Structure 1
Amino acid sequence: MKTFTDDGPRHATSRAVRDVGERITDVAEAPVWSMTADEAGATLVELTRQIARLTELEGRIAMQAAAVEVGASVGATSTQAWWANQTGQTHRSTAAKLHLADALGRWHVVRQALCSGALLTEQAQVITRALDDLPDDVDAETRVLAEKHLVDLAGDHDAVDLRRLGRGLLDVIDPAAGEEEERRRLDEEERRARQRMRLTMSDDGHGSCHGRFTIPAAQGSMLKKMLQGLAAPKHQTAVHGVGATIERKPSPERLGAALCELIERYPTDRLPNAGGVNATVVITMDMATLLGAEKAATLDTGDKITASQARRLACEAGIIPAVLGGKSQVLDLGRTRRYFSKAQHLALAIQQGGCTAQGCDWPPSMCHAHHDPFWAHGGNTDLKDGRLLCPRHHARAHDPTFTTTKLPGGKVAFTRRT
């Protein structure tokens, strides 16, 4: 690391920096245990202010170093890179310092406040960012008013508050423009949030499902309130009983349990249809399991769950246990109805497991119920004549350029006519 030469610095600022270093060296080993509470507190506050003042000075010198291309003589790609290399700072850190220093060159009221110790570094960063974000059509006089307004607020607000206040800056200095800018900003934020919506889920093969999601802030707040309501002590007491030990603050474990409860209790009749069946979970279990045996039950996805969980879901959630047949729903409608019912779709899903075209792996929820033989050719709307086909293969079943061949095991194959 470079230091001052033996003959000492010539510039007054350089000499001041050297003197500060020497004064700190003088007290480097000085014990502080004898400080009273008042003196320790006052010294701590004053030291914080002096560090802020040094930050402003550091920025001014860094901008001069960049202007005279410090580091160019040794082949450094930039003063910022040279600075990071010489001091052991990260490139991100030196870049951020130069960015603030550049902003302070434009916003003189902020620079003066930082130089005097009336402003902290993080406050200055937030304020200059808010000022730089002002629309281009804001005039110079209004910009000065905005700068003074935020610097005044810094006396009573930390950087977090200032960031929030900075977003509503135009509302104070120009209410009409502020409303329009807020509308534009919110529209842009919501547009970006919609573009970034993501949800990924993966089964680890050991009974757990892991996931990550990114959703807009509004929906995130709604979900958070729903989960907190389900995880609240009052709700938990109602579910687990008065004697249960319940934490006051929802833990990650309780919020996870609340998410499971939300999924289980969501009314399936509110979900969209897919292939004539809404997103209903179908659990297949034999009568012995329903009545208390411990044989595993099977979901329509192929996953298995314990008998106890299957019985609980059958009692509490919006699922249809196949052994019960729903509410004794009629599955054989013969020629009395043209389209297959939801109950028939579910029965076909259990029976056929998905698209019956050879080599196709589309699940039941994405399939159509097809008459085989065709309804127009006398086919019945029942399980005997019902066949699940994905949209692609359903189209082929009705395409005269393809022949349909029934295969052993209930599958069908499609061949283009020659």
Structure 2
Amino acid sequence: MAGLGQHQVDRGIAVIDEVLSGLGEVSLLGLDAEAAGVSLVALARLEARVAELRLRVLAHGVEVAVERTCGATTTATWFAHATRTTVRVSRRAVFFAEALGRYGVLRVGMAAGGVNLEQGEVIARALDAIPAEVASWVRVEAEQTLVDLAARHDAQHLRVLGERILHVVAPEVGEAHEAKQLADAEAAAEKATTLSLTPDGAGKVHGRFTIPELHAGMLRKFLMSLVVSHQDPGSATDVGRGVGSASDEPRDPTATGAVDEPTDPLQHEPQPQRRATGHELGQAFCELLERLDGTGLPETAGTGATVVVTMTLETLTGGLAAATVDTGDRIAAQTARRLACEAGIIPVVLGGRRQVLDLGRRRRRFTRAQRIALVVRDQRCTAVGCQTAAWFCHAHHDDPWARGGPTDLANGRLLCPAHHRRVHDPAYDHHTTVDNKVEFTRRT
């Protein structure tokens, strides 16, 4: 390549360029499906290794101020112009290149091809998000753990694992950090809670509300349980995400953000009435949602619109560890303890006394308690790579009931409707992986 010098990096780039030039017109005839798959995986590892080298050289370019060669203001703007990429992409590359200078284990993982570019960026952001006061050994352990996890998880899963990495490498530190984060966020959300209802005089009432994520999840679940009974999960999900959106609402210039109590029609003059504030209405709305138990709504995954809060016995008795709602949200320990007292909430206490779940051959369908246990255990569809939420899934017998399989927890799993159909499709074989996931292979 023109312009390359005699540095070892330059000579290596020239060799790579020459090899790729030789492959430019090579026919792919004879590369069967299995060989093509092996080649694609190998090429992905090479991409990661080349990306690491590019980023390492880019970080060096920042140090030597490569932009001065043409009067550019920053390395990112120079790199964008030189490579015909956008400044946004170039700034992102420079940021990650500098991050690799701080995270040596991550850089080595990319250089070996074990961590791809997308995974690397996620890991770097997770490490940057660790609080400054955390001990250095925790950071080192977190970096090594995430790099190791990259061998088994894609970037999306690594992002979730990265958010919880302190709980893995230093549980006490992670619990205290998350407890403070959740408490602060919930306090801010409670302070911002509001609701307004404005009649338009034509038989309709327009509303606006701001409520905490916990209660928004409750509302979405109540409504979605009705939607899902008539629609596919995909279309229902879009509807659910629109719940509470006020972007298209008409604004009434006379609206006050609250609702007047009705006056007595027998009175000649309206009696002065106290107006509820938006904050009071918002708090009442949250309390209403907590009191609803959803027993009259259609069931999905066996729990209907009932909210399930999973916590440890330590949390229930005063610990700091956060609890998990079956909508996927995590809540502060004190909120979980309060919800455990509500009639419309099912508290699942891990480590405490459990309801008998294994019913053997006495019935074909899984009980409500068994389905709740499956939701807590599996959390989502157990097909490899599927992210469908647990409450959209069906309860499936691994060993079919019709062939003598028992209706018990050990023989059950959650599968979304699509993968439940596939597991019974004769065109596919399936097997259970070591981490209790279902992997499908098309029969030939």
User: Over residues 247-291 of structure 1, what are the superposed CA-to-partner deviations in whole Å (9 max), with x where a residue is unaligned?
Assistant: 4436359948x979xxxxxxxxxxxxxxxxxxxxxxxxxxxxxxx
| Aligned-pair identity (%) | 34
For the residues of structure 1 that align with 2:255 and 2:197, how far apart are their CA atoms?
A: 20
Matched residues in 1 for 2:198 and 2:83: separation? 45
Pair 253,21 (structure 1): closer, same or farther in 2 beyond 3 Å: closer
- 1:165 is aligned to 161
Counterparts in 2 of 1:55 and 1:223: CA distance versus 1, 3 Å: same
- Distance in 2 between the 1:15 and 1:192 partners? 57
Encode CA deviations 1:71-113: one digit per residue, 9 max, x unaligned.
2242211011111112121112111111111111111111101
| Alpha-carbon distance between aligned partners in 2 of 1:129 and 1:35, rounded to the nearest angstrom | 39
8 A Cα contact 2:119 2:155, kept in partner: yes
1:224 aligns with 2:220: yes
Match of 1:87 in 2: 83
Aligned to 2:297: none
Q: Output the CA distance in 2 between the equivalents of 1:27 and 1:53.
A: 19
Higher RCO (Cα < 8 Å, 6 or more apart): 2
Deviation at 1:41, TM superposition (A): 0.6
Aligned to 1:353: none
Give, in whole Å, the separation in 2 of the partners of 1:37 and 1:363.
63
Matches within 5 A, 1:69-218: 69-190=65-186, 216-218=212-214
Letter aligned with residue 9 of structure 1: G
Q: Which amino acid aligns with 2:146?
A: L
Q: Which AA in structure 1 matches 2:119?
A: Q
* 1:134 Cα deviation from its structure 2 partner: 2.0
CA 1:164–1:67 in 2, change beyond 3 Å: closer, same or farther?
same
Instruction: Identify if the C-alpha distance between structure 1 residues 77 and 388 changes in structure 2 by more than 3 Å, giving closer, same or farther.
Output: farther
Structure 1 counterpart of 2:43? 47
SS of match in other structure, 2:102: coil
Give the corresponding residue for 2:421: none
| Structure showing greater Rg | 1
Deviations 1:97-133 (A, max 9, x none): 1111111111111110110001111211122222222
Higher deviation after alignment, 15-24 or 55-64 = 15-24
Match of 2:233 in 1: 249
Shift of 1:361: 8.5
Residues 227 and 255 of structure 1 are in contact (CA less than 8 Å); yes or no, is this contact kept in structure 2? no
Q: Deviations over 1:203-245 (max 9, x none)?
A: 9xx9999999875432332122112211233xxxxxxxxxxxx
* Residue identity matched to 2:15: D
Q: Normalising by structure 1, what TM-score?
A: 0.54
| Residue 5 (structure 2) pairs with residue 14 (structure 1) | no
| One-letter amino acid of the structure 2 residue matched with residue 385 of structure 1 | H
Query: What pairs with 1:265-414 in structure 2 (closer than 5 Å)?
Result: 365-366=259-260, 383=266, 385-387=268-270
Counterpart for residue 326 of structure 1: none
Judged with a 3 Å threshold, the aligned counterparts in structure 2 of structure 1 residues 200 and 386 are, in CA distance, closer, same or farther, namely: closer
Q: How many residues are aligned here?
A: 267
Contact 1:232–1:250 (Cα < 8 Å) also in 2: no
Distance between the aligned counterparts of 1:363 and 1:383, measured in 2? 27
Q: By how many angstroms is 1:50 displaced?
A: 0.6
